[in-house]
Each structure stands twice: as C-alpha cells, then as structure tokens.
Amino acid sequence: MPHIALQAQQTEAVQVRNIFCIGRNYAAHIAELGNRPEEDPVVFIKPTSALHLPGTPIVLPKHSSDVHYEAELVLLIGQGGKNITEDKALKHIAGYGLGLDLTARDLQATAKKGGLPWAIAKGFDCAATVSPFVSAEHIQNPTCIEFEMHLNGQVRQRGDIRKMLFPIPFIVRYLSEVFTLQEGDIIFTGTPEGVGSLTHGDTVRLVLPGHIDTEFEVFDSLN
C-alpha cells in the first residue's frame, strides 16, 4: 500500500487508506464544463493504485485519447473520526498538498451520457498524482490557501480556496457523516477553472508558494 510522509517531519510515513474527491466545487470550473452546481458535494472515490507520488513521470493511459489535468488542494487526514463537526474539522488534518485529479475526459463524457459511473475515467494509474505534503502546523491560515498549476512554463490554473462552494470544514464534516474517516485518507477538494489536455512531453508544475514546488514529466504509455 502507498505511504505519504510530511515534509520536514521525523514521523513515520502514513499509509494511504481512501482517496476521496470532491467535484464541482468552483463555480467557474462548473461553468467551463457546462455543468450545474449541486446542493451537496459531488463525491467520488479513486483506488489507491491511482496514487502517484513525485519522482517518476506521469504515464498517460492507453484507453483514453483526451486526459485532462485538474489541479487541486489535497488534504491528508491525520486523525480519523465519524460525524466530525465543522469547528473541529481542521484539527483532523495532518497535512496539505497539491494534486492532479487526472480525468479521461472522453470516457467521462460517454459515461455521463449513459448515466454510468466514472471509475474508468477517474481511477486509472497516475489519476491521483500528488505533491509532497506540508504539515498542517506550517500552514498559517488554512482558510486562505492559494496555489498554481503551470503547464510547460505557463500558468494554467490559479486556485483560491476562498472561492470554494464547499469549504474545507464543510467537506470534512460532510464526508465524515457518510464515511468513517481514517488516518491516511486523502481528500481532493476540487479544481478551479483552466483545465485542459495533457500530451507526451508536457511538464506540469504544482506550486503552493513558500511550501511546495513540484514538477512532473508526462509520458505516453511505456508498455
């Protein structure tokens, strides 16, 4: 099973349990894909085999011809729980990272038309690419986090979590009412506008100013 360590921490790496994802959490991204906002968060889950850590390239899947990047703030749960209240939600977060919720957009579109699940479009290898994680104690104001995604040297996405339709405490509370959160769960919190396709030879850079600056090369399937 994959493990995640916190930067500048001497604690042991945490085994990743579940990968939760929140969809449609930024109004501008909802608009760019022609979707509609929902009253409750759109939640889906990726297998742990989709997790991809820094150090090796992103490998695009053979079964899609249109893989999109979706840069997101990612939470690492340090203390699990059930029915966590919003006022205590931040205490359950051990670290913050950035991630790419890679999406086979062609397959997702087909699944949507048929009212079918998105697993093949969202759960392939590397579909949950993440940066290193920063300990929560080093994030001075977790309600005002801003981040960037660069593609081949150009900024393509700028995230400001103050624009989330469902803020972090709400997400933790909502998920913990449906699922029992566990130490090692990670939560992708939704992507801002600016998503687009990845191709062989691209370089993706994820930046959380002062904390994270990570690059990934993109390759076609190696098999």
Tens place of pLDDT for every residue, the chain, 223 residues? 688 878 766 567 889 999 999 999 988 887 888 888 788 999 999 999 999 999 999 999 999 999 999 999 999 999 999 999 999 999 999 999 999 999 999 999 999 899 999 899 999 999 999 999 999 999 989 999 999 999 999 999 999 999 999 999 999 999 999 999 999 999 999 999 999 999 999 999 999 999 999 999 999 975 5
**Domain boundaries, position 92:** 3-219
Residue 195: predicted pLDDT: 95
Q: Which residues pair with 103 in a beta bridge?
A: 68
Contact in structure between 93 and 52 (CB atoms under 8 Å): no
Count up the domains in the chain and report the number: 1
Query: What is the CATH classification number for the domain harbouring 91?
Result: 3.90.850.10
The amino acid sitting at 100 is: L
Q: In the structure encoding, which two tokens stand for residue 188, read together?
A: 């992708």
Phi, psi of 68, rounded to the nearest 5 degrees: -105, 145
Residue 222: predicted pLDDT: 59
Q: Give Rg (Cα) of the chain.
A: 16
Three-class DSSP category at 49: helix
Question: pTM for the full model?
Answer: 0.96
Q: In the structure encoding, which two tokens stand for residue 102, read together?
A: 């890679």
Residue 136: predicted pLDDT: 95
Q: Which of 187, 167, 213 has the alpha carbon at shortest distance from 93?
A: 187
CA dihedral 91, 77, 209, 25 (to 10 degrees): -100
